[in-house]
């Protein structure tokens, strides 16, 4: 079960929405299933708003929450939704508040709660998200519902309602971003340790279109993905950056899984950059050893100590050379044509 919280100024506007057509004409057979205020929707709204006006210093005294279920939970009867709503409000707000629960779809209800208790006390909404989470998890266990938090993919951006509706209009049962997420992760796992070439081959086999985003230097920065069937209203292909498909598909994480460097990226780099990309920097202790070796080498070449000579070597004994003696003037050079 997923709880989504919003806040507002008047119960009248909230209930008009609940009993209206909805954003996409999705509200069907709206009805009140639970609450602490009797009457018609209009009467309930007037009673709650009249009660909250005694705290004119509070800008948003109306607390709204939708409780929704995944498809695996099926369709609950109104009586079970009523028990869930009563238990949720009791644990969240103590129960001594004006509230009502409206159902207009199979999979969720809307709660409209006044933060001004019947006693006139203003109840704090501080940390309401954190307070709501354990209540929802407990209600799932008590009513035999799916643990929506364990089921949800926290690293993947959620697909919006309009995007889901557009996929349905294209004849796709599942939005393309969700399809891409599954296919790309499978390709990543199948090519782990094989580098970019193996990963891209797996993408092609899965029917995933991809674009590698590289800088002028050849450095890889990430991928964009698409599917041949994913088009906009004008027929153009829609592309999504890896982070918009799922955050675990960003290059910083993909690179660790794929492992081996791509030779295509190496030859595009200048020689000094290739060395920098392929040779790991020494550890701090190794750097000290390298520095010491360099210092010794420098001292050997600058201290005047002659380099080691082969056995029997002495100045003036190089074959073919005339020994030089102090005061002797070199003779004229002889060469061809002279």
Which residue in 225, 77, 81, 246 sits closest to 152, CA to CA? 246
C-beta neighbour count of 166 within 10 angstroms: 18
How much is the pLDDT for 198?
92
Write out pLDDT tens, residues 183-214: 999 999 999 888 999 999 999 999 999 999 98
Instruction: List pLDDT tens digits, range 32-90.
Output: 999 999 999 999 999 999 999 999 899 999 999 999 988 778 899 999 999 999 999 99
DSSP H or E run through 213: strand 209-214
pLDDT of residue 99: 96
Strands 62-68 and 2-8: antiparallel
User: Is the predicted pLDDT of residue 142 greater than 90, yes or no?
Assistant: yes
**18-39 average pLDDT score:** 87
The H-or-E segment that residue 194 falls in is: none
User: What is the rounded CA–CA span in Å between residue 71 and residue 19?
Assistant: 23
The pair phi, psi for residue 241, each rounded to 5°, is -60, 155
- What is the reported pLDDT for 234? 86
| Residue-by-residue DSSP string for 237-279 | BP-EEHHHH-GGGSHHHHHHHH-SPPHHHHHTS-HHHHHHHHS
Give the best-scoring range by mean pLDDT among 103-107, 141-145, 153-157: 141-145
pLDDT at 92 over 50: yes
Q: What is the DSSP string of 29-70?
A: S-EEEEESS-S-HHHHHHHHHHHHGGGTT-S--EEEEEEE--
């Amino acid at each position: 079960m997923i709880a989504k919280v919003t806040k507002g100024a008047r119960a009248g506007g909230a209930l008009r929405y609940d009993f209206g057509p909805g954003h996409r004409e999705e509200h069907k057979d709206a009805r009140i299933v639970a609450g602490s205020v009797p009457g018609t929707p209009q009467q309930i709204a007037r009673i709650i708003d009249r009660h909250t006006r005694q705290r004119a210093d509070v800008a948003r005294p109306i607390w709204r929450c939708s409780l929704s279920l995944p498809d695996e939970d099926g369709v609950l009867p109104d009586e079970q939704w009523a028990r869930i709503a009563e238990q949720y409000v009791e644990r969240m707000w103590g129960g001594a508040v004006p509230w009502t629960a409206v159902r207009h779809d199979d999979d969720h209800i809307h709660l409209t709660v006044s933060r001004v208790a019947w006693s006139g006390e203003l109840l704090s909404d501080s940390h309401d998200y954190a307070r709501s989470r354990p209540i929802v998890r407990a209600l799932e266990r008590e009513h035999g519902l799916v643990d929506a938090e364990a089921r949800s993919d926290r690293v993947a951006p959620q697909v919006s309602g309009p995007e889901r509706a557009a996929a349905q209009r294209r004849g796709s049962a599942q939005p393309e971003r969700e399809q891409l997420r599954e296919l790309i992760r499978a390709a990543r796992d199948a090519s782990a340790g094989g580098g970019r070439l193996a990963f891209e081959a797996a993408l092609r086999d899965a029917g995933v279109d991809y674009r590698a985003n590289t800088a002028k230097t050849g450095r890889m920065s990430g991928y964009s993905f698409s599917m041949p069937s994913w088009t906009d209203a004008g027929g153009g292909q829609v592309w999504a950056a890896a982070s918009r498909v799922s955050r675990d598909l960003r290059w910083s994480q993909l690179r660790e899984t794929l492992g081996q460097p791509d030779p295509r990226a190496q030859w595009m780099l200048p020689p000094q950059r290739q060395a920098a990309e392929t040779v790991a920097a020494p550890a701090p202790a190794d750097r000290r050893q390298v520095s010491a070796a360099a210092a010794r080498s420098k001292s050997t070449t600058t201290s005047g100590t002659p380099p080691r000579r082969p056995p029997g070597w002495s100045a003036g004994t190089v074959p073919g050379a005339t020994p030089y003696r102090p005061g002797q003037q070199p003779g004229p050079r002889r060469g061809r044509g002279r």
